[in-house]
């Protein structure tokens, strides 16, 4: 797989020779994800400006070379940096890493694709800003723009991240450059503060899409709450799941800014430790007795809930707390709230007493309140959990791709009802256990109507045959979920082909749009491409 010399020369001309990478090892690493991939990458191009991106796009058009943009390249479990199609040049946007504008009063920041969650967190911290970012389930070194474009979500009031951005700068695959909303007019004052602009709004067509390369956008930030409290709870009977979900939906309808989620026991276990290979005597999936022992040790049932209250005063926060208590009364046990007062008290407790089921809570206390991801703090917890099935402990570099951690996501769109959640959970559980994997489940109640249902298949890519078995399990789950009407709301490069044909003219219309903006079909072929 080689690029014609003329293409190399043109790319080098566009960005400088040192930013066209053809080193075999680098290409190999870039082609490595958390599951088996076969795509080969002929070169990585690393522009430093919007102008350089435009030049690259023109080169690729002229020579009909497929080009696959990535931001920080940390789309773990969905394909990392690996292009959806073999032979694509990788457009690495990490050098576009500036925070271009910041408005504390109107609470927004304009960023390039290379800006990471960690970087924005530090930027706001250094300025002692009263604003908070929305954290990510994945790596703190992931790109915010990249996550937005995947419609990634997070906890807190602006958790539906892609609904809190505007003012995109887009390089179209044919080389044109546009700005969405009012951003297209010089001197317009509402570019960063109003999503819709005037006339048709184009932002939506660039999300989960291969229609444009976003070189900057404005992200809205939420004010830090005056009163913040996290809470956790659990319940013992899996059969109660539907009624708990119904109660949580009614709660979310009443308090839409409240963060709410459920995780199952497997997920909790994988968040706190690695697979107990010795105790399991090498068997998998996890023997029931070991799961029960974990539950008993930390005092949880098959499901644990967590959430946060974001209030503008202590009084308002306490009122909301009582609504949370009321919603869960008789349905959950061990509902525990952590706010500034409890946090201060806990810090007086001698550290040897701060233990729960053998786990030292001391180091977790920050994570549970002061530096909670629910408050926008970056955390590596979920990256660590990708090492669940590994036999060695996580490496200090925490790099699931290179450490051959196996991760595959299945993310069906599930209506926020007890029966829908039940049905989707049962599918994942049945298929996983049957095929030797733990059903690792997080249910994020992202809106009053929608459950961001995240099932992870975690495995060890170094274990013989696991790549194939895990992918087969992933495929079976997706097919079964789609068969029941639960279509995926986010796709990895491994699952693009699962989207069924539409029952209307959508495929033909997607084709018209693609042709209008990318006549030579060079941009990210195969990525969210439903022609």
In the range 142-161, which residues lie near a copy of itself by CB under 8 A? Answer: 151, 157
Torsion-angle region of 194 (φ positive above 0: left; ψ -120 to 50: alpha; else: beta): beta
The correct pick among 203, 339, 460, 466 for binding a copy of itself (CB under 8 A) is 203
Decide if residue 312 touches a copy of itself (CB under 8 A). yes
| Count of residues touching a copy of itself (by CB under 8 A) | 94
Kindly tell me which of 30 and 517 has the beta carbon lying closer to a copy of itself: 517
Cβ at position 376, least distance to a copy of itself in Å:
15
Structure tokens at 154: 């997070």
Structure tokens at 10: 């043109």
- Give first-to-last CA distance, the chain, whole Å: 27
| Footprint (CB under 8 A) of a copy of itself, residues 441-480 | 447-450
Unique residue bearing structure tokens 């170094």: 462
Q: What are the respective helix, strand and coil percentages of the chain, to the nearest 5? A: 35, 20, 45
| Footprint (CB under 8 A) of a copy of itself, residues 76-135 | 105-108
Cβ at position 3, least distance to a copy of itself in Å:
28
User: Which residues are within 8 A (CB) of 77 and not within 5 positions of it... i.e. 6 or more apart?
Assistant: 34, 386, 407, 408, 409, 456, 492
Q: Does residue 285 have a cis peptide bond before it, meaning omega lies within 30 degrees of 0? A: yes
- State how far the Cα of 378 lies from the Cα of 140, in Å rounded to an integer: 5
- Beta strand pairing call for 67-70 and 44-45: unpaired
| Footprint (CB under 8 A) of a copy of itself, residues 165-194 | 172, 176-179, 182, 184-190, 192-194
- State how far the Cα of 286 lies from the Cα of 277, in Å rounded to an integer: 9
| Footprint (CB under 8 A) of a copy of itself, residues 395-434 | 413-417, 420
Kindly tell me which of 240 and 487 has the beta carbon lying closer to a copy of itself: 487
- State how far the Cα of 259 lies from the Cα of 309, in Å rounded to an integer: 7
The correct pick among 13, 17, 125, 204 for binding a copy of itself (CB under 8 A) is 204
What does the DSSP 8-state code read for residue 465?
T
The correct pick among 9, 36, 205, 359 for binding a copy of itself (CB under 8 A) is 205
**Number of Cα atoms under 13 Å in the Cβ half of residue 498:** 26
The correct pick among 35, 117, 206, 235 for binding a copy of itself (CB under 8 A) is 206
Kindly tell me which of 199 and 393 has the beta carbon lying closer to a copy of itself: 199
Cβ at position 183, least distance to a copy of itself in Å:
8
Cβ at position 199, least distance to a copy of itself in Å:
4
| Footprint (CB under 8 A) of a copy of itself, residues 506-525 | 506, 508-510, 512-513, 515-517
State the greatest distance between any 2 C-alpha atoms of the chain, in Å, as a whole number. 71
Closest CA to 242 of 416, 411, 412, 413: 416
Q: 370-399 mask for a copy of itself (x: CB under 8 A)?
A: ------------------------------
Kindly tell me which of 180 and 386 has the beta carbon lying closer to a copy of itself: 180
Measured over the CA atoms of residue 282, residue 284, residue 287 and residue 292, the dihedral's sign is positive
Closest CA to 258 of 315, 304, 317: 317
Cβ at position 371, least distance to a copy of itself in Å:
23
Cβ at position 162, least distance to a copy of itself in Å:
7
| Footprint (CB under 8 A) of a copy of itself, residues 210-269 | 211, 220, 223, 226, 249, 253-257
Decide if residue 526 touches a copy of itself (CB under 8 A). no
The correct pick among 198, 239, 381, 472 for binding a copy of itself (CB under 8 A) is 198
Cβ at position 530, least distance to a copy of itself in Å:
5
The correct pick among 319, 349, 381, 472 for binding a copy of itself (CB under 8 A) is 319
Element (H, E) at 443: strand 440-445
493 in Cβ contact with 82 (< 8 Å): yes
């Amino acid at each position: 797989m080689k690029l014609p010399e003329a293409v190399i020369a043109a790319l080098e001309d566009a960005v400088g020779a040192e930013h066209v990478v053809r080193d075999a090892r680098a290409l190999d690493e870039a082609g490595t994800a958390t599951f088996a991939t076969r795509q080969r990458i002929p070169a990585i191009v690393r522009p430093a400006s919007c102008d350089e991106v435009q030049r690259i796009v023109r080169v690729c058009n002229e020579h009909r070379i497929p080009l696959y943009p990535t931001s920080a390249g940390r789309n773990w479990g969905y394909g990392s940096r690996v292009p959806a199609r073999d032979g694509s040049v990788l457009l690495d946007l990490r050098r576009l890493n500036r925070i271009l504008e910041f408005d504390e009063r109107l609470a927004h920041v304009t960023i390039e694709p290379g800006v990471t969650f960690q970087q924005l967190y530090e930027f706001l911290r250094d300025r002692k800003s009263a604003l908070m970012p929305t954290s990510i389930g994945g790596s703190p070194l992931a790109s915010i723009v990249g996550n937005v474009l995947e419609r990634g979500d997070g906890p807190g009031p602006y958790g539906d991240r892609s609904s809190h951005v505007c003012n995109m700068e887009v390089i179209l695959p044919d080389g044109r450059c546009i700005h969405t909303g009012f951003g297209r007019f010089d001197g317009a004052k509402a570019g960063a503060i109003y999503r819709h602009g005037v006339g048709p709004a184009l932002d939506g067509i660039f999300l989960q899409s291969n229609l444009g390369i976003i070189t900057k956008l404005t992200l809205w930030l939420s004010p830090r709450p005056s009163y913040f409290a996290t809470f956790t709870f659990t319940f013992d009977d899996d059969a109660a799941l539907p009624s708990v979900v119904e109660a949580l939906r009614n709660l979310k309808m009443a308090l839409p800014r409240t963060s709410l989620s459920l995780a199952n026991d497997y997920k909790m276990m994988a968040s706190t430790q690695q697979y107990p290979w010795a105790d399991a005597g090498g068997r998998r999936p996890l023997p029931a007795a070991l799961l029960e022992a974990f539950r008993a040790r930390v005092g949880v049932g098959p499901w644990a809930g967590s959430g946060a209250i974001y209030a503008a005063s202590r009084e308002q926060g306490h009122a909301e707390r009582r609504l949370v208590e009321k919603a869960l009364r008789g349905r959950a046990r061990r509902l525990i709230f952590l706010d500034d007062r409890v946090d201060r008290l806990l810090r007086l407790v001698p550290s040897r007493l701060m233990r729960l089921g053998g786990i030292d809570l001391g180091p977790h206390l920050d994570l549970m309140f002061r530096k909670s991801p629910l408050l926008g703090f970056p955390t590596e917890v979920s990256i660590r959990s990708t090492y669940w099935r590994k036999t060695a402990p996580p490496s200090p570099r925490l790099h699931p791709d290179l450490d051959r951690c196996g991760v595959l996501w299945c993310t069906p769109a599930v209506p926020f009802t007890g029966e829908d959640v039940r049905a989707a959970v049962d599918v994942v559980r049945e298929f996983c256990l049957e095929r030797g994997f733990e059903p690792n489940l997080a249910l994020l109640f992202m809106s009053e109507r929608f459950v961001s249902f995240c099932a992870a298949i975690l495995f060890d890519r170094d274990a013989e045959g696991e790549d194939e078995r895990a992918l087969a399990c992933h495929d079976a789950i997706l097919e079964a979920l789609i068969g029941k009407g639960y279509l995926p709301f986010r796709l990895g490069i491994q699952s693009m082909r699962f989207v069924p044909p539409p029952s209307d003219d959508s495929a033909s219309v997607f084709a018209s749009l693609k042709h209008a903006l990318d006549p030579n079909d060079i941009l990210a072929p195969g990525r969210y491409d439903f022609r």
